[in-house]
Amino acid sequence: MSEKTEKLLATLRLQPVIPVLIIEDAATAVPLARALVAGGLKAIEITMRTDAALEAVRRVADEVEDAVVGAGTILNAVHFEAAVNAGSQFIVSPGTTRELIHAARGSDIPLLPGAATASEVMQLREEGYQVLKFFPAEQAGGAAYLKSLSSPLAGTLFCPTGGISLKNAKDYLSLPNVVCVGGSWVAPKELVAAGDWAGITRLAAEAAALAG
């Protein structure tokens, strides 16, 4: 197993749920990250879907000592480099391109590449990837589909993301080929907007308890 794969697995195994965050205001990034960490969710994915995202990654990386911050929705090499320069400790993509694979190959920061079909998984295995993002999880076939991949594609681990909530997270976490899940439900927009960090800590603790 490569050093980068080990580093990625060490991050993903910190908790059963990786918060997937869309941050509109960089000023909320640090208190939000601290609330999630306080609830037991240290690894945090900030998606590059807003103008505030890179600054949010930078602030969390600089100011939240216990957080392991990653960047998601990375679509190309420019995104990859910008996210790494901002302090991302892992990179997540919804799919995979040769450009992204090339960018990842030249970096010490691990990539969690996205795949939704057996063919995509096989192509990534050929590139040396053993840990993948299964996206969009529910829309691509859900836990039943992912379970069906566990035997023919044994040895590949997944972090399913997309349509996952507290209600169905255990369906995925019970699978032998799932290391964790990604979810946005632990940081609802309304709680972030209200600055209800205690509420987010409670949701994070509820999610962290899924490991038990």
From the list 133, 138, 147, 189, the catalytic residue is 133
- Is there a contact between 60 and 46 (Cβ–Cβ < 8 Å)? yes
Beta strands in 22-179 (DSSP E): 43-47, 68-72, 90-92, 111-112, 114-115, 131-134, 157-160
| pLDDT given at position 137 | 98
From the list 4, 6, 24, 45, the catalytic residue is 45
- Global pTM reads 0.97
- Is there a contact between 59 and 48 (Cβ–Cβ < 8 Å)? no
Between helices 77-86 and 53-63, what is the axis angle to 10°? 30
pLDDT digits (tens, 9 = 90+) for 45-55: 999 999 999 99
190 is catalytic: no
* Cross-strand pairs, 115: 134
Q: Which fold has domain 3-211?
A: TIM Barrel (3.20.20)
138 is catalytic: no
User: Residues in the chain with pLDDT < 50?
Assistant: none
d(CA 15, CA 2): 21
d(CA 56, CA 212): 31
d(CA 195, CA 32): 8
| pLDDT given at position 211 | 82
d(CA 88, CA 58): 8
